[in-house]
Amino acid sequence: DVKVTQSSRYLVKRTGEKVFLECVQDMDHENMFWYRQDPGLGLRLIYFSYDVKMKEKGDIPEGYSVSREKKERFSLILESASTNQTSMYLCASRRGLGTRRFIEQFFGPGTRLTVL
Amino acid sequence: QQPVQSPQAVILREGEDAVINCSSSKALYSVHWYRQKHGEAPVFLMILLKGGEQKGHEKISASFNEKKQQSSLYLTASQLSYSGTYFCGTGGGDRGSTLGRLYFGRGTQLTVWP
């Protein structure tokens, strides 16, 4: 069974802290994504990675960085957390581009981050 | 490049039908539909590829008109289990899309009452 796991379901941090959100997939997928979900704004892409050590900015990368040292793990880093980064963070993965170019993304359960 | 979904919210009685629309200002190669139930992760429903194909999933079907850059999701004889937020995700010819990203709409909240 396909599985994407995220390190925490709920996280509370203080303003200015460095925050790490971890995502692990067990499907040998090439592509991994980090989204932010806020009410009424849908799923907004922060960063994605199409291969190990390869990353691309999404639509709202400011204040975030990512790391992908191993194929199965994609980390989202908030260098200095701020209250406006309080949100639900969703990780997703999918197979890389091949003969079937456009295929489904599998989502993790999400991490609800609160920055105080 | 975020697609526009309409309506923002729909309230139905069990057994009624609904249509959710997704439109883009950019040329599309594919449209993906996902459903997210409250407190859960989004789950894939179907993909429609350029070529005007139509697909179905139980009593949920969709169409894709690439000339109009639009897709519609049809929910027939809705059930309580259909409640949730529906997202369309689009892929085009831009660099991000060729690397595998999707542009998601803001979602349509569907509520089905008994």
Residues of B with CB under 8 A from a CB of A: 2, 29-30, 32, 40-44, 47, 49, 87, 89, 91, 96, 98-107
Write the pLDDT tens digit of every residue in A63-108: 999 999 999 999 999 999 999 999 999 999 998 766 455 578 999 9
Buried b (16+ CB within 10 A) or exposed e, B28-54: bbbbbbbbbeeeebbebbbbbbeeeee
> Which structure tokens are listed for B15?
């057994």
Q: Of B47, B49, B101, which has the smallest distance from its Cβ to A104's Cβ?
A: B47
3-state secondary structure B6-55: ECCEEEEECCCCEEEEEECCCCCCEEEEEEECCCCCCEEEEEEECCCCCE
pLDDT at B71: 93
Q: Of the ranges A3-17, A93-107, B2-16, which one carries the lowest mean pLDDT score?
A: A93-107
Interval B35-84: pLDDT, tens? 999 999 999 998 888 776 666 667 899 989 888 899 999 999 999 999 99
CA nearest B109 in A: which residue? A40
Between chains, do B100 and A50 touch, taking CB under 8 Å as contact? yes
pLDDT at residue number B52: 60
Position A102 scores a pLDDT of: 55
Q: Does A16 touch chain B (CB under 8 A)?
A: no
